[in-house]
A = this chain, B = another copy of it.
């Protein structure tokens, strides 16, 4: 048992795998969805069987990242974890692990790898202006 029996499930953000993340993206884009809907959306890019998508959805429910609500004889799935939280967490983890928590070196790396377009640069400048005032 993860949390001592009884009591609501606060905190403890269970790790979401890459495959699971793909499913989350489908739900973030639009929800609620049935398993078939999700399989459909995700199936565009990955070649997953419906069974696979169902497994991933179950795991996400077990991890409290997705909630279900009955809809007749089936379920509608809806994200519990918000995309911003997930994305923020993952970004943070990477920056912490690889750059000692500093964002600047990350940016430097992306810049070096030509991963920054002119638009990106303009956007980042705007962001900084906003942060400073």
Contact = CB atoms under 8 A, between A and B. Distances in A.
Interface size class of A (residues with CB under 8 A): 35 or more
A91 B133 CA distance: 29
Give the number of times this chain occurs in the complex, counting copies.
2
- Among A95, A97, A107, the most chain B Cβ lie within 10 Å of the Cβ of A107
Contact of A106 (B84, B91, B97, B99): B91
Interface stretch (A48-56, A65-73, A124-132): A124-132
A113 interface: yes
A88 interface: yes
A2 interface: no
B127 A97 contact: no
Given A88-B113, A110-B91, A127-B108, A120 B98 contact: no
25 contacts: A18-B97, A21-B97, A84-B109, A87-B98, A88-B109, A88-B113, A90-B94, A90-B98, A91-B110, A91-B113, A91-B115, A92-B113, A92-B115, A94-B94, A95-B110, A102-B117, A102-B120, A103-B110, A103-B111, A103-B116, A104-B124, A107-B124, A107-B127, A121-B128, A128-B128
